[in-house]
Structure 1
Amino acid sequence: MKLTEIERTLQNKGYKYIACIDEVGRGCLAGDVVACAIIMPIDEIIKGVKDSKKLSPKKREKLYDIIIDNAIAIGIGQVGPKIIDEINIKESTRLAMKKAVLNLKNKNEQIINPDYLLIDAEDVPIDISQMSLIKGDEKVYGISCASIVAKVYRDRLCEKWGLMYKGYKLEKNKGYGTKEHRDAIKEIGATPIHRMTFLGKIL
């Protein structure tokens, strides 16, 4: 994936720190929604980067390490099931994105304040100039990088949750509502990481 005209135009306008944002876990029955904000160098493009959904797990893991090594700054934001149940998934997604922006740090753990945001199909409740792009993870290099980091980060959380809560195969289904997962909820019941507002038709 090459830099988009949007990224080049923003750079030419003098924006130094363009943070790109994506989330994962929005449609899951269990676990946190996770957002990644990332500022990538725009003079060095990592070969093979594209929307995380179009990559194999092995390829995502490989690109994740390269992206982490090359990023100017990375921030992760998480919102858990209790908050999701309280304020709904859309607001939780926006909150996770805001947290990710506020958590942006460079390799020296210094906070980096972005001067522009490019976001995949959402708006962030923060006073920074921004642009929302439908299918941004397919169109914008930086958002694709964010999608890969968010996906791998959350998949690793799912592996931990799978060890904590046996029987749901969270390490396999990543919290999504597969038949196996839904059947386990019916049989065993919900865990503390299940989103109760998502389970109405199951329970």
Structure 2
Amino acid sequence: MTGPENSEQGPGLTRRGAATRRRIVEAAAELMYVRGVSSTTLDEVRAASATSKSQLYNHFADKEQLVRAVVLLRAEEIMEREHAALQNLRSFNGLVRWRDALVQRNALQKGAYGCVLGSIAGEVSDQDEVARMALAKTFEAWEQLIEAGLRRMQDARTLAADADPQKLAIGLMAALQGGYLLAQTAHDVTHMEIALDMALDHVRAYLST
């Protein structure tokens, strides 16, 4: 599975050190998701992860390094989930189930915080090239999972031969991320549902009859 490097990698880390690092990154990821990257301070991360200042700075020299680790952690989580959801996709009903699962998950929080990756991307992409590239790589891998499922539909002759799986995958991803953003601002997943349903209607037009 294509994706960013593992967020827990670190030279010379003991098991306890790796656990501490993981705890810091997970606490930072949760805070940055709810509060935003710019509004989350290192002191808040330290308090939420129950670590000392020396422990935090032993693993991360500054906030930029921590943000990059959060990006990698979230990328791993997203790709693990989406790989499980999409690796056997080969029908339009499978796409609908994928859509339903994403909407339902977002509905649990009334769409309040958006996509865990998209929300970070909006804040760091113009400020940190390393983080931007990691985010771009993850979104590309996510699109490729969707595209691979559409190609399997084509191989099964349920999707027309003249359909372009790559373009359809990009359209579905754009609808998903746009839907996340609108749901986040409205605190209502209806916008996400509509965006994804319109993208799925476009795919439906290419189904073999």
User: TM-score, normalising length from structure 2?
Assistant: 0.28
Q: Which has the higher contact order (CA 8 A, sep 6+)?
A: 1
- Greater share of helix: 2
